Amino acid sequence: MDKNLMAQVLPGTVTDENDKDYFIQIEGETFQLDKAEVKKPFKMGAKFTGFTYENEQHKMQITRNLPKIRRDHYAFGTVVKAKFGLGVFVNIGLPNKDVVVSIDELPTVRELWPQDGDQLLICLTVDNKARIWGHLADEEIFNAISRPVEGRLQNQNIKARAYRLKLSGTRLLTEDFHLAFLHPSERLKEPRLGEEVEARVIGTLRDGSINISTRPRAYQEIGEDAEMILAALEHEASHSLAFSDKSAPDDIKAYFGISKGAFKRALGHLLKESLITQQDGHITLKKQAE
C-alpha cells in the first residue's frame, strides 16, 4: 500500500459491491465503503470522495464522515486505552479505528501517561509501512491556537488541560484557549499529559499567558496533621474515635504521633471547616466529609 493513499481525502471510482459494501478504486488500490453511509445507491463507475484508512480488521476502508483530525489538521481526540510498550489509543471519530500516539512521544514516567477520557491535541502521520499514527501538537501549534488574556483573571477559577510536562513545570491550555503555566511549587501532584485540572489564576504575564495554581486557597488548606486525623476517621467503620481536645497528651502521642498542641490546632481547624463533630469525648466525621 502506498502511504500517500492513507489518511487522505481522495477521489475514487465505484468498481464493485456486495450486500454490505461498495468497493472504491483509487490508483489501483481498493477500499471498502459501508453502504450504511450512502442514501442513494451508486452505479458502477460512479465517483466518490472520502477519507482513507485501515480499519481494525486490517481492511482498507473509505468514509465520507471526515474526521477533524487528519494530516496537518490538528484537533483534540479522546484517549480510550493504553497499551504497554506501544502507546495510547485515541478516538478520532472513526467507528472502527483508533489511532496510536507512540510511546516515543509520551512521558518516560508511566504514571504521567494519559488515561481514559484525557484529551490530546494531535494530527495524523503515516509511516513507510502505511501505518497511521497520532502526532502530538508542539509548542508552535499551541502558540498559534492560543489567545492572550484580556481583562483581569486574578484569583479566578479556571479549567486547563496539560499538553507539555517539563522539569520546570507543566504547560497547559485553558478552556478559553489561554496558555497557562503550573510551577511544581503550585501543585499537590503533577498532572498527566492530557489531563484537565481545576486551578486558579495567580498571575498574568506580559505575553498574555497566565500562571496558575492547583493548591487549595489558604482557607482551604487544613494541614498535614488535620489530613491525618481525617484519614484515621475515614478508616474507622464508625467514622468515630475516642479522642477530643481533653484527651491525655500521651494517648494522643501514642495514637497520632503528634503533640497535644498540634492535635488541638488540627482539631480546631477541622471543627471550623465543619468536617468533624466533637461530643462526649469522641470526634466523628461529618457525613458530607466522608
**CATH classification of the domain holding 112:** 2.40.50.140
Helix (H, G, I), strand (E, B) or coil at 142: helix
For the chain, give the mean pLDDT: 93
pLDDT at 152 over 90: no
Lowest-pLDDT choice from 64-68, 94-98, 130-134, 217-221:
217-221
Which pLDDT belongs to residue 222?
64
**Last residue of one domain, picked from the residues 63, 86, 105:** 63
CB atoms within 10 A of CB 107: 15
- HSE-up of residue 11 (Cα within 13 Å, Cβ side): 3
> What's the rounded Cα separation, in Å, for the pair 233 and 161?
34
95: how many CB neighbours lie within 10 A of its CB? 13
**Confidence (pLDDT) at 103:** 97
User: Is residue 90 situated within a structural domain?
Assistant: yes
What integer pLDDT is reported at residue 273 of this predicted model? 78
> Which band of pLDDT confidence, cut at 50, 70 and 90, is reported for residue 217?
low
Residue that terminates a domain, selected from 196, 213, 230:
213
Residue 290 has pLDDT above 50, yes or no: no
Query: Rounded to whole angstroms, how far apart are CA atoms 210 and 202?
Result: 8
9 and 58 inside one domain: yes
- What region, left, alpha or beta, does residue 248 occupy, with left being phi > 0 and alpha being psi -120 to 50 degrees? beta
**Shared-domain flag, residues 170 and 132:** no
Same domain, 30 and 50: yes
Work out how many domains the chain is built from and give that number.
4
> For the residues 144-171, what does the mean pLDDT come to?
93
Judged against a pLDDT cut of 50, whether residue 289 lies above it is answered with no
Q: Report DSSP letters for 145-196, one per residue.
A: H-----S--TT-EEEEEEEEEETTEEEEEETTS-EEEE-GGG-SSPPPTT-E
| DSSP 8-state class, residue 20 | S
Q: In the prediction, which pLDDT does 57 show?
A: 93
**200, 191 in Cβ contact below 8 A?**
no
Q: Which range marks the domain in which residue 82 is found?
A: 75-137
Same domain, 82 and 103: yes
100 within domain boundaries? yes
pLDDT of residue 286: 83
Q: Is the pLDDT of residue 42 over 70?
A: yes
pLDDT at residue 82, as a whole number: 95
The reply to whether 55 falls in a domain is yes
pLDDT band at 137 (very low <50, low <70, confident <90, very high): very high
Task: Return the pLDDT at 227.
Answer: 85
Residue at 96 is within a domain = yes
Owner of C-alpha cell 468497493: 23
| Other residues' Cβ atoms within 10 Å of the Cβ of residue 264 | 17
Which of 29-33, 148-152, 258-262, 285-289 has the highest average model confidence (pLDDT)? 29-33
Q: Is there a single domain that holds both residue 155 and residue 199?
A: yes
- Other Cβ atoms less than 10 A from the Cβ of 29: the count is 15
Domain final residue, candidates 161, 196, 213: 213
Is 174 contained in some domain?
A: yes
Residue 37 has pLDDT above 90, yes or no: yes
Give the residue from 112, 114, 49 showing the smallest Cα distance to 76: 114
pLDDT in tens, 45-76: 999 999 999 999 999 999 999 999 999 999 99
Instruction: Give pLDDT tens digits for 218-268.
Output: 545 567 888 889 888 988 889 999 999 999 999 999 999 999 999 999 999
Is 107 part of a structural domain of the chain? yes
| Residue 198: inside a domain | yes
Q: How far apart are CA 285 and CA 244, in angstroms?
A: 13
